[in-house]
Amino acid sequence: MKERIVQIIPAIKDPKTRRLLAENKRRKVAAYARVSTDSEEQKTSYVAQIDYYTNYINSHKDWDFVKVYTDEGISGTNIKKRYGFQEMIDDAEAGKIDLIVTKSISRFARNTVDTLTTVRTLKEIGVEVFFEKENIHTLDTSGELLITIMSSIAQEESRSISENITWGQRKRFADGKVTLPYSHFLGFEKGNGDFPIVNESQAVIVRRIYKEFLNGKTPCMIANILTQEGIPTPAGKTKWRPSTISSILQNEKYKGSAILQKEYTLDFLTKKMKKNEGEVPQYYIEHSHEAIVSPEIFEAVQLELKRRKEMGKSYSGNSIFSTRIVCGDCGGYYGSKVWHSNSKYRRTIWQCNNKFKNGEHCSTSHLDEEAIRTAFITAFNKLLSQRDELLENCRIMQEVLTDTTEIDEKIEELYSDIEIIEELIKKAIIENTMKAQDQEEFSHKYSKLETRHSKAVKSLKSLEAERQRKEEQAEAIGAFMFQLKENDEPLTDFDERLWLHMIDRVVIYHDEKMQFFFKGGTEVTI
C-alpha cells in the first residue's frame, strides 16, 4: 500500500470578504450617516458626522475613500424613503464598496427586519458593515447574533419613543390644544402660543366657497371658478380640485370648533395612518378658536351636502331652482326648457322632466321663473305672519329631538348584550376544540347565538341611524329658526339667499297648487 500523501491547496479567497487574497491589500470603504430631525442641533451633528467619517476613512492607509452616504431629517424606522441608504446598497451590489462604517445599529436602522435583511444581503456579496458603538463586524461569526440582539433593543427604543410621542399628542388633545398644518390650511395662521388665528385675506376665499355652495354651485364649479381667477390653493398650487373644496366645506375648524385625532398611527414602524373609526378616543372642542363662518352657515352647508348626496347624480348646480321643484304626479324633478329660442319671444320655463315620457303625460303645468319667485314671496310672508308661534313650536320640537336619553340607554344595553353574546360564542368554540361534543348539538347552539348576535347588531344599527336622523332634524330646525329670526320683515322682492337656505323642495300639483317644504319640516301651501 502506497504512503498517503496530503497536499495543502492554499486559500485564494478571504473567508470574510470572499475576495481574492491578492486583492485584499486595499479596501473600498464608505460611511453612512443619518439624523432624524431638521433641528439646528441635529444639523450640526449631521455635518460633524460627515467630516468625522471622511477623516476617519482617509486616516487608514489601506483604505480607499468611496463616499459618505447621508440621509437628513429622515426617520430610521423604515428604509423605504432613505434615498442615501438605498444608493449605498446599490453601489455595494455594484462592487463599488467593500466595507461600510456607521455609528451604531440605531443610526443604520431601528427596524430589526430591515437591519438583518440588509446585513445578510451585503454579507452574501462579501461587503462588511462595522458598527462603531457596538464594535460589531458583520462578517465575524458572532456578528449576526449580536446584531439581532442590539437591533431588537433599538426597535424597542423606537417603539417607546413613538408611544411617548403619541401620549404627548393625546395629552394635548385632552387639554384642548389645537394645531393645524398651516402651510396647507386655508384661512388660519399660527398665533401666539400655537393658537390658530384668522388670516383675513385667506378667510375671504373660505367664506366665498361657503357662499357659492349655498348659492347652488357644486364643488366642481367652485374649483373651476377659483382656478380661472388664479387664486392659489391651500398648498399654493394653481389648480383647484373638487375634493379640496369638499374638504373645506366639511371641516369643522372653520366654524371655530375642532375634532381631534381623526386619524391615528396604525404601525410605528411603517408610520401608516388610519382613519379613526372608534379604535382610539376622539376629542371635540367647541369654541377652540375664532370662527371664519358662523355655526349656522356651517350646519346649513352640511344639510345641503347631505341633501345633494341623497339625490345622487340628479343634482345640478346650473340654477337655483334645479332639483328643488318636484312634480306632484310622478315625483320627478322639474327642469328648465327654452321656448322660442330663435325669436324675440324666447323665454325659459320649468316643467316636469318626465312630462312626455313613458306614454303617460303628467298633468302638472309648466311655470315660468317669475311665477316661482312670486309664489315663494307669498309663502315666506305667510310663514312670517306666524313667526312667534312657529319659533316656539320649533324650539319645543328641537328639545324633543335633542333628548336622546331613551335611545342612548337602549344603545348601551345592546352594546352590553353584543359583548356577552360574543363571549358566549368564543367560549362555545373553545369548548368544542378542547373536548369531544355532539356536533349537531354544537351547531344548533352556535346557530342560535349567531342569530341573537345578528339581531342585536341590526337593532343597534337601526337605533344609531334613528339617533343620527333626530340630530340632523334638530340641526335643520335650528338653521330654519336662525333664518326666521334674521328676517323679520315681509319680503317685497325675491331673495335668492333665503330661497337656497330655507327651501327643501316645492311640490307642484295638477290643480296649480304649490306646496312649499321648508328646511326643518314646516309646510306652506299656495
Q: Is the pLDDT of residue 507 over 90?
A: yes
Give residue 520's pLDDT.
75
Mean pLDDT of 209-226: 88
Q: How many C-beta neighbours within 10 Å does residue 453 have? A: 17
The mean of the pLDDT values for the chain is 79
Domains assigned to the chain: 21-163 (3.40.50.1390), 182-313 (3.90.1750.20), 325-525 (1.10.287)
Beta-strand relationship, 347-352 and 283-285: unpaired
Identity of the residue numbered 418 = I
Give residue 158's pLDDT.
56
Q: Which residue has the cell 390650511?
A: 185
Q: How far is CA 363 from CA 334, 353, 369, 414, in A?
A: 13, 12, 19, 50
Rounded CA separation 104/32 (Å): 10
End-to-end, the C-alpha distance of the chain in Å comes to: 127
Q: Which residue has the cell 311665477?
A: 371
Q: Print burial letters for 153-182: b (CB count within 10 Å at least 16), e (below 16).
A: ebbeebeeebeeeeeebbeebeeebbebee
Contact indicator for 472, 291 with CB cutoff of 8 Å? no
Between 348 and 283, the more confident residue is 348
* Lowest mean pLDDT across 38-47, 51-60, 311-320, 453-462: 38-47
Locate 231 and state its grid cell: 387664486
For 370-394, write each residue's pLDDT tens digit. Answer: 899 999 999 889 888 888 888 887 7
Q: Is the pLDDT of residue 77 over 50?
A: no
Between 3 and 22, the more confident residue is 3
Say which DSSP state 167 is in.
H
Burial class (CB in 10 A: 0-12, 13-18, 19+), 184: exposed
Q: Is the pLDDT of residue 147 over 80?
A: no
Give residue 257's pLDDT.
79
Confidence of residue 227 (pLDDT cuts 50, 70, 90): very high
For 89-143, write each residue's pLDDT tens digit. Answer: 999 999 999 999 998 877 776 566 677 778 878 888 889 989 888 787 888 766 6
Mean pLDDT of 182-189: 81
Give residue 205's pLDDT.
92
Q: Percent of the chain having pLDDT more than 90?
A: 14
Give residue 305's pLDDT.
85
Mean pLDDT of 145-152: 59
Give residue 268's pLDDT.
44
Give residue 162's pLDDT.
54
- pTM for this prediction: 0.49
Rounded CA separation 362/357 (Å): 9
Rounded CA separation 327/365 (Å): 9
Between 20 and 314, the more confident residue is 314
Q: H or E segment at 337?
A: strand 334-339
